[in-house]
Amino acid sequence: MSRILIFGGTTEGRLLAQYCHEQKKAVWVSVATGYGKMVLPESPYLFIHETPMDEGEMEQFISDKGITLVFDATHPYASLVSKNIADACERTGVRRIRVIRESLTGKEGVSEDGRIVWVESVEEAVQYLCGKAGNLLVTTGSKELIKFTALDSFEERVYARVLPTVSVIAACEKIGIKGKHLIGMQGPFSVEMNEAMIRQFEVRYLVTKESGNAGGFLEKMKAAAECGITAVVVGRPSDETGMTAEEAKKVLAESESDRIEPASIAPVSAASHKRKVTLIGTGMGGPEQMTGQAQKVLKSCDVVFGAERMLENAGEILKDKKKLPWYLSKDILPWLEAHKEFKTIGILYSGDTGFYSGAKKMVESFQKEPYGQRYETEVLPGISSVSYLCSRLKTGWEDVLLFSLHGREGDIAEAFKRSDRVFALLDGTNTVNHICGRLIEAGYADVKLSVGERLSYSDERITTGTPKTLRDQKFDVLSAVLIER
């Protein structure tokens, strides 16, 4: 029985994966980016490895999974990756099939008419363009885009069309290509779309690779001809031998792994490739306020997110860790999708994750698709402000009505009508002074009011009085209060 691995991330790789899904043929598919995984069909028969592998890691993966047949369906210009795959297969004694993309050199619409300049590399393309005037539309990808910064006035002349991922956009902006000069779009594109971009940006030279039909090469050439501009084409690295995607499908059809049930390769289930996200309640302050489990998990994290104050308070635990001062899913998720190398993730929350915490919404964000397939979440509780304050007051809190005015609207007097003991979290609008005024107004001027500020910190302060005696005092805007009859 064959165990099959497809190195994809290309149109050909997607076609082979789709075929395996349709035929209920269980295979591993290796892609180097999150986008490469996103374009694959969701299937119980496809087991995705979505991080790049070097030569040694490929060899280890092939050995560990018992792979007997490898399809190299990587990009025609990914010559180093193909070489690594070939070397890994040779050392493990595994059969390798190179899936090739038909070259369009010499085809109709790709004639040697003086408007197409063929070069052997991006470096040679840049060398040809040195001293040439006019704008450029560069469609050779983001990895070698930095080479075009050698051209005079590249910030004003170069328009780069790249994949619309956070990491790619950030890399392009870092080298100085940004704003309207950065076109983040996923192709391939029609002739009309290419023409529109050429005219919109007054392009004089279109730089591309001979990437075949799957890469929209002919459409680029026709658009360049229609607009009367010069196409600078980087030719294929070498004449490759191998099979087309259609020929590779026939090999798959004949393989002995036909209609393997997913359970037969359960040890490498999709869950085993999920990244671990732990939402951690840090208690009231520094490391001494955390549970032992929380400290242990933090020490194992590759990257930790949280409000800047919490990251600082974690102290030595986060020494040498990657730390980012973010606590919203809209910031955290895009960063994680662009940085697949971080496998173990921690997100810090003050107090307890189950007590008016942002942890609930964060869990919901990670459970939404497609993230639910990529991340496994765990929630660790912490010491809540209500339990801490009541312990400092030497009282229990089993009969306390829990109430939050932190970023919320509510009437503390109405809450006090329902219970003899009310705990509340406050904010800059619902301050101690504000609730004292409301309690006095409702006829509760002489109830007992305990105010906790900077709980667990060295400058912690707990003040007990009545709404009448505390109304005009100054308190921290993020205080916690316990109101008792």
Q: What is the pLDDT of residues 6-33, one digit of tens each?
A: 998 888 888 999 999 988 888 999 988 7
Residue 331 domain flag: yes
Q: Which of 365, 383, 401 is the last residue in one of the domains?
A: 383
Residue 106 domain flag: no
Q: Do 224 and 121 share a structural domain?
A: yes
Which helix (H) or strand (E) element contains residue 346? strand 344-349
Question: From CA 36, how far away is CA 342, in angstroms rounded?
Answer: 18
**pTM (two decimals):** 0.46
Q: Which of 183, 208, 234 is the last residue in one of the domains?
A: 234
CATH classification of the domain holding 348: 3.40.1010.10
CATH classification of the domain holding 458: 3.30.950.10
Q: Do 247 and 313 share a structural domain?
A: no
CB 151 within 8 A of CB 176: no
DSSP string, 166-220: HHHHHHHHHTT--GGGEEE--S---HHHHHHHHHHTTEEEEEEE--TGGGTHHHH
CATH classification of the domain holding 177: 3.40.50.620
Residue 417 domain flag: yes
pLDDT of residue 70 exceeding 60, the answer is: yes
Residue 109 domain flag: no
Q: Do 216 and 281 share a structural domain?
A: no
pLDDT at 179: 93
Q: How many domains in the chain?
A: 4
Q: Do 220 and 192 share a structural domain?
A: yes
Q: What is the pLDDT of residues 274-304, one digit of tens each?
A: 899 999 999 887 677 888 899 999 988 989 9
Q: Do 421 and 404 share a structural domain?
A: yes
CATH classification of the domain holding 9: 3.40.50.720
Q: Which of 342, 359, 383 is the last residue in one of the domains?
A: 383
Residue 92 domain flag: yes
Q: What is the pLDDT of residues 408-446, one digit of tens each?
A: 889 999 999 999 999 999 999 999 999 999 999 999 999
Residue 28 domain flag: yes
Residue 76 domain flag: yes
Strand-pairing partners, residue 69, are 4, 95
Q: Which residue range is the domain that position 228 belongs to?
A: 116-234
